[in-house]
Amino acid sequence: MSPLICRSLWGFEGNLSAAISLAQQQGFDGLEVNLRHPALAGLEATAIREQLQGAGLALILELVSGGAYVPAIGAGPGEQLAELEELLAAAADLAPLRLNLITGSDHWSGPEQHHFLAATLDLVEDSGLVASLETHRSRCLFNPWTIAELLENHPRLRLTADLSHWCVVSERLLTPDLAPVQAMADRVDHIHARIGHAQGPSVGHPFAPEWAEALEAHRRCWSLFRERQRQRGHHNATITPEFGPDGYLPVLPFSGLPVADLDAINQAMATWLRQGVLEG
């Protein structure tokens, strides 16, 4: 079964109705949205569920602890766990298909990381929701070279693979032959389809010829994840094209204008994925 392809609301400035209409027009299967996104603000959970169900769209909720996407240095494990507990309770009311958790912090010690991950997985288990943790910079899973140990110590840990972050951290393209990619392959349930490179989390345009090597490296890794998903009969696989703003998309000097249109890039990535480029 092909994965559901969802539209990210990162950088989207309209309301939920506009987001739903746009996702339908562009052929997406669902939305991925931060629980704190303005498009959801002030809406009752029932109204959100009904709008999405009426449109036939799945919902992936993003839960971010520690403040913004880069956590505050002072937001310690206890504070983030308390915040996650509140976020999980709010998320349950929306009945999402899955959660994507961006949590923890890269500056904690090894023992703190392990304790935090165990406690996070306990909270997720108690919530009854399906969740995966993202391989995001500045977070617990920021380092590709420690992922095998974390997975070995936390068998309940499921992953959202965003390899673009690891490209920056390791200053290299991730490929299927590398140990971190092999270690994580059986644990990936959700993919963020953005193309990174050795010096940045996002290329200017994924289908520009100068980024062909980066595109192919990501495609090969994603294909491995999809192959492993099929082998284990995983039927709720999801992919979100996630090119976004906030310094990710390169801009022209002086004018600050983006080098490409984000919405067009995400649509192009979705179209490419629908062609079965990841299916064996």
Of the listed ranges 193-202, 226-235, 265-274, the least confidently predicted one is: 226-235
For residue range 19-62, list pLDDT tens digits in order. Answer: 999 999 999 999 999 999 999 999 999 999 999 999 999 999 99
Which CATH number does the domain 4-274 belong to among 3.20.20.150, 3.40.1830.10, 3.40.50.970, 3.40.50.150?
A: 3.20.20.150
Angle at 250 between CA 278 and CA 103, to 5 degrees: 65
235 pLDDT higher than 90 = no
The two tokens of residue 104 are: 């923890």
Burial 238-264 (b: 16+ CB within 10 A, else e): bbbbbbbeeebbeeeeeeeeeebebee
For residue range 169-213, list pLDDT tens digits in order. Answer: 999 999 999 999 999 999 999 999 999 999 999 999 999 999 999
Mean pLDDT of the chain: 97
* CA-based nearest residue to 134, from 106, 170, 96: 106
* Residues 245, 114: Cα–Cα separation, whole Å: 32
CB 16 within 8 A of CB 49: no
